[in-house]
Amino acid sequence: MVDAGHNPQPSADAALVVIGGLPATGKSTIARALAQHHKIPYVRIDTIEQSLIRSGIADVSGTAGYITGYALAAEQLRLGLSVVVECVNPVEATRNAWSATAQQNSARLLSVEVICSDPDEHRRRAEQRVVDIPDLVLPTWQEILDRDYEPWTTERLVLDTAIMNSESAVRRITARMFTE
């Protein structure tokens, strides 16, 4: 029996691009633009978690959304497709799990951390953004500041949306996708 998370046929062309960072930094905008540009699947953990809530599952504050995301990304990688994942990716455990998902499916991993180095701009975005997932409650600025978010210890591409627009971010990610 073949492990459902492992692709016995390596697909060196497939890449798992995981775009993480605090809420309101521009992750979703960049991830959507990247997926559209390359016509590759886009997995958004907020969408998964909100769907689980709407289904009647009471508590998705744990790992259910991420575990579902790992499985959906693995399914695409097994097909030889690159995939873009967008999530906060706040702790080393989730970052390691994305790495394992790529490795188990013979895909390249590109981890991206999106930051907004201008706190006034970050706050403005947090307070003015529009909900694009039905019934999703966006975090307040204070909740963003108080959120558990571990420093990264692994290699990643850091994109600062205080000084870079989404088109530039997509170009930077694309360059890394095809040179590593």
Q: Specify the DSSP class assigned to residue 161.
A: T
d(CA 66, CA 89): 9
Residues of the chain with pLDDT under 70: 1-12, 58-61, 180
Q: Does domain 15-177 have CATH number 3.40.50.300?
A: yes
d(CA 133, CA 69): 16
- Taking residue 95's Cβ as centre, other Cβ atoms within 10 Å add up to 21
Residue in 106, 89, 105, 101 with CA at minimum distance from that of residue 154: 89
Task: Give, in order, the Cα–Cα distances in Å from 36 to each of 24, 29, 130.
Answer: 20, 11, 20
Q: What is the reported pTM?
A: 0.91
